Structure 1
Amino acid sequence: MRPSWWFAAAAVVAALVLAFLFLPALVVIPVSFTDRSYLSFPAESWSWQHYRQLVDSPVWRGSLLQSVAVSAVSTLAATLLGAAAAIGAWRLGARLGALVRLLALLPLIVPTIVGALAYYRLYIDLGLLDTFTGVVIAHVVAAMPFVFVSVGSALANFDPRLEQAARSMGARPWQVLWRITLPGVRSGLVSGAIFAFIVSWDELVVLLFVTTRNVYLLPRAMWDGINENVDPTIAAVATLMIVITFIRLCAERLLAHHRQKQELS
């Protein structure tokens, strides 16, 4: 049995790591409610003025709407492609399946800055710089591996005999997919879609290379705001992004818990 000091040291290290991760949020959130026109902490009094400015400003409002639109489209496309790749790798043989897995996970292996440079050079030739289509493509490529892993994990617990039974009863391939396979991996699909949305919602590096003003998402607007004029509105935007990401993560955890209960039952 390990000595008690080992557990105490592990607890202290875990607490320090959690403090390091959550301290920025604990600072940003109070700053967003300050009544000053500049960043101040601690706030002397509380106000919603910077959140009202976020809604009233055409720049921030447009960035928010564009971010929601891009994230929604990217999530849908990444979920469809990632699920198709995961199911394909699951049905293929060992060698072809391994090759599909490698290709699907490649965006996680390539450094983000390298991928951003590649997108910039490619989009110059294709005329996709600063376009909605170009940003969606980049976000789909970045988010698809998370869907692939999530659906692949769900397929690992899926009984292939269910598909065999459906085919033996005369079901067509699309019927087997729609009525047997997809419902069996529903939790993986939802979890993958949540992570895909978070990836698209927070992506900045690629945006710095492939967008200017026509496509102006929240991460890019925050970056420009920090460089040009630091004001508490940026803290309000950051708080909004933190809250949305936190809600998505909580939803994913609830789905994972529900999936575990179903597997145990």
Structure 2
Amino acid sequence: MSVRPSWWFAAAAVVAALVLAFLFLPALVVIPVSFTDRSYLSFPAESWSWQHYRQLVDSPVWRGSLLQSVAVSAVSTLAATLLGAAAAIGAWRLGARLGALVRLLALLPLIVPTIVGALAYYRLYIDLGLLDTFTGVVIAHVVAAMPFVFVSVGSALANFDPRLEQAARSMGARPWQVLWRITLPGVRSGLVSGAIFAFIVSWDELVVLLFVTTRNVYLLPRAMWDGINENVDPTIAAVATLMIVITFIRLCAERLLAHHRQKQELS
């Protein structure tokens, strides 16, 4: 087997660095802009200021959209985690054919383009009276986030020993006891990872919001979109920075959980 020359690895490292810079630098530029002391989007001129973060808290519009986003994301994460975990466990326990059908249905939201799904929600919600409602937004977010929980829990189940359930049943444990005491603790890391991804999906969703909400349900992504189109306010940069930080923290938590899961598998 031939050994690649050192210049090849150096060139690959340079290309990888350029790609990463292309992906991340535009997002990182938002951070210093959020601390500008001007009333328009610009880098800090004379000093760094927290005024636009204070505006995020003081403004009823931004504060309300932030609180609504937290509420919708929390409810959507809980529902998506429960449904995604149930679907993953069901597919794991079913036969090959039925299990494959459940997997296909659970992953369907990832296959359908977001814009197509948004149009479908809009038409359906007109008939059901769910346009611009908390329930309608949560349903859409749950459908979008559930596949990530399904995949995460399914990956954890792939390393789960089914003989543990058999041993529990042989000792007289009821089905719900087996699920609660054996199965769920065995896939805890998959549940947490899936919940993290579900929260991120719900927190960042915009396309569906543009179709199914107006003013009654006014989440942060929609507020940012309207702010860019109507009035370019540096508060948008502050919100964007906040969303970047939250997403980064949750991704770091997911990586720590994945590392912990790998250590458990090796031990």
TM category (shorter chain) comes to: over 0.9
- 1: CA distance, partners of 2:124 / 2:230: 29
Alignment partner of 2:89: what SS?
A: helix
Quote how far apart the aligned CAs of 1:42 are.
5.3
Quote how far apart the aligned CAs of 1:60 are.
0.2
Quote how far apart the aligned CAs of 1:171 are.
0.5
Alignment partner of 2:218: what SS?
A: coil
Q: Counterpart of 2:103? A: 101
Quote how far apart the aligned CAs of 1:193 are.
0.1
- 2: CA distance, partners of 1:20 / 1:240: 21
Q: How well do the aligned residues superpose, as a CA RMSD in angstroms?
A: 0.8
Contact kept in structure 2, 1:66 and 1:215, CA below 8 Å: yes
- 1: CA distance, partners of 2:207 / 2:213: 10
- 2: CA distance, partners of 1:26 / 1:154: 34
- Higher mean C-alpha deviation, range 182-191 or range 36-45: 36-45
* Identical counterparts, % of pairs: 100
CA distances 1:182-237 after superposition (whole Å, capped 9, x unpaired): 00000000000000000000000000000000000000000000000001100000
Quote how far apart the aligned CAs of 1:41 are.
2.5
Structure 1's unaligned 5+ residue stretches are none
Structure 2 matches for 1:243-254, cutoff 5 A? 243-254=245-256
TM-score (norm 1): 0.99
Quote how far apart the aligned CAs of 1:9 are.
1.9
Q: Counterpart of 1:36? A: 38
Q: Counterpart of 2:239? A: 237
Structure 2's unaligned 5+ residue stretches are none
- 2: CA distance, partners of 1:114 / 1:4: 48
TM-score (norm 2): 0.98
The list of structure 1 runs, each at least 4 consecutive aligned residues, that deviate by more than 4 angstroms after superposition, is none
CA distances 1:68-104 after superposition (whole Å, capped 9, x unpaired): 0000000000000000000000000011100000000
Structure 2 matches for 1:96-135, cutoff 5 A? 96-135=98-137
Structure 2 matches for 1:137-156, cutoff 5 A? 137-156=139-158
Contact kept in structure 2, 1:31 and 1:43, CA below 8 Å: no
Contact kept in structure 2, 1:147 and 1:191, CA below 8 Å: yes
- Higher mean C-alpha deviation, range 21-30 or range 171-180: 21-30
CA distances 1:155-174 after superposition (whole Å, capped 9, x unpaired): 00000000000000110100
Q: Please, which of 12, 31, 47 is the counterpart of residue 45 of structure 1?
A: 47
- Higher mean C-alpha deviation, range 43-52 or range 170-179: 43-52
CA distances 1:129-188 after superposition (whole Å, capped 9, x unpaired): 000000000000000000000000000000000000000011010000000000000000
Contact kept in structure 1, 2:35 and 2:44, CA below 8 Å: no
- 1: CA distance, partners of 2:20 / 2:184: 37
Contact kept in structure 1, 2:37 and 2:44, CA below 8 Å: no
Contact kept in structure 2, 1:33 and 1:43, CA below 8 Å: no
- Higher mean C-alpha deviation, range 247-256 or range 19-28: 19-28
